Structure 1
Amino acid sequence: MPPDADPVEKLVGFGVLSADPGDDPALTPSFRAAWHETAETLAGDPEALDRAAATVTTGDRPRITVAESDADGVVMRADGSWVGQWPSRTALVADLATERTLAGPAWDALGRAERVDLAARIRGLVEQCPTCRGPTRVSDETVESCCHTTAVIAVSCADCGDRLAEFDPSPSPFAPGS
């Protein structure tokens, strides 16, 4: 796969998306089934989640800490150092399910930043919550911080309310993660 391929082309190449010209990208049935099976395993077993996090983030097994915070979502640390942050535990489960489902030489050859970006895009396309299997919904929202407000497109579970992803509004049907 060419390194300069756009994200849709890359995900089609990995068998994640079926993107017919003119159609919005959608997860392939085979990827969706494998991804949900993996997510269900990770969501139901905190030790499996920790093992997956350790393997994906560092390739070895340092002491991983996954801490939830109402204000900041979920923060992951490896041996005390910040590794990543997600809007919810559900988003972390989703990304780790993506990593596990796509694990292999081609996926592993991508840089970590690119894998994180592609995983966020996948989170934006899932139609069922990876932890409770409720339907996801897409909404326009405003996020406030100390200094400004920002319009975002949010993907959340309609049943449990967990946030899976936030994207900058874009005219693209497959907006990049930010």
Structure 2
Amino acid sequence: MDSVPAPLRRFHRPEYTGENRCLPCTVANTAIAALLTLVAGVVSPVLAVVVLGLSLGAIWLRGYLVPGTPELTKRYFPDWVLRRFDKGPATGVGAEARVEVDPDTPQVDPETELLAIGAVEEADDDLRITDEFRAAWRDSIESVRRDTAAHVGSLLALEEPRVEDREVACIVTDGGVERARWPSEAALLADLGAVPLLRERVANWDELDRVTQGQLLAGLRIFAENCPSCDGPLAFSEERTESCCRTVDVVTYDCGDCGARVLEVER
């Protein structure tokens, strides 16, 4: 809000701008603005400049140019397009707010990989984390918790790392610029604590692309038995979440005490 000049604040719609801005809606409205500018240019170059300025200003202040854009975007944009935009920056290991992977990206089977390195074991026709890995992971998380910003800065090679646990996600910034996000600080602690353990056990860990690393880390989070932030109990549930122009059914893994979301997987 402070970045908006006082005379324009009555036109500002914070629910559709800033971190709440919907990228598909912004793309659609920018395309409409470009079309209107071309049409105005036929009449007058000056008019084209005015139309472009007013259109971009409206998108910046309000998040959209055409009223009802979210519903139009939801109706006419294919879901695969909305899925590509409806994600946080994937600049860090395990940094996506949801575990959504490009269908063209080679998939790994986290359970198979975690079994192979001894992080989990079979028990009563199911899998569970091994006692040895659980203890090592807990100790590593405790170390990370003492200086989370320094650990995430080292992992992502950031110069001015800052961790902000906001309502919608845990945001990692560098010099004020968002670089990565996790579902919560608890999920960030879980991943930061797991990375050195997986680096020791997975021979080619540093050669894996970040999507693959993220899949393994998210797969490991499923086996966490207690919240990395408060040590409360974790439990699965199902819910329907809505972004500006998508409705998604997800399975969540949340802390019963502090409410931290350790994992969110789209069904």
Q: Which bracket does the TM-score occupy, shorter chain normalised?
A: 0.7 to 0.9
- Partners of 1:64 and 1:36 lie apart in 2 by 23
Q: How big is each residue's C-alpha offset from its partner over 1:35-79, in whole Å with a ceiling of 9 and x where there is no partner? A: 111112322x1xx21221122223xx5221222221x31111334
Runs of 5+ in structure 2 lacking a partner? Answer: 1-105
**How far apart in 1 are the matches of 2:180 and 2:107?**
25
Q: Percent identity?
A: 32
Q: Which of residues 27, 33, 37 in structure 1 aligns to 2:135?
A: 33
Superposed structure 1 runs of 4+ greater than 6 Å apart: none
1:121 aligns with 2:223: no
Q: Which has the larger radius of gyration?
A: 2
Distance in 1 of aligned mates of 2:209 and 2:257: 34
Tell me which of 171, 178, 195 is aligned to 1:99. Answer: 195
Alignment partner of 1:24 is 2:126: yes
CA distance in 1, matches of 2:250, 2:108: 26
Which structure 1 segments of 5+ residues have no match? 170-178
Structure 1 residue 143 corresponds to structure 2 residue 241: yes
Matches of 2:247 and 2:126 in 1, distance apart? 29
CA contact (8 A) 2:187 2:262 kept: yes
Instruction: Give the number of the structure whose residues are more often strand, by fraction.
Output: 1
Q: Which piece of structure 1 moves more, 119-128 or 97-106? A: 97-106
Matched, 1:49 2:151: no
- For the residues of structure 2 that align with 1:39 and 1:132, how far apart are their CA atoms? 11
Q: Aligned pairs, how many?
A: 160
Q: Residue 171 of structure 2: SS of its match in structure 1?
A: strand
Q: What is the deviation of 1:81? A: 4.6
For the pair 1:15 / 2:118, whether they are aligned, the reply is yes
2 CA distance for matches of 1:108 and 1:131?
A: 27
Question: CA deviation digits over 1:101-126, x for unaligned, max 9?
Answer: 22335322322221112111111221
**TM-score between both structures, scaled by the size of structure 2:** 0.54
| CA deviation after TM superposition for structure 1 residue 146, in Å | 1.4
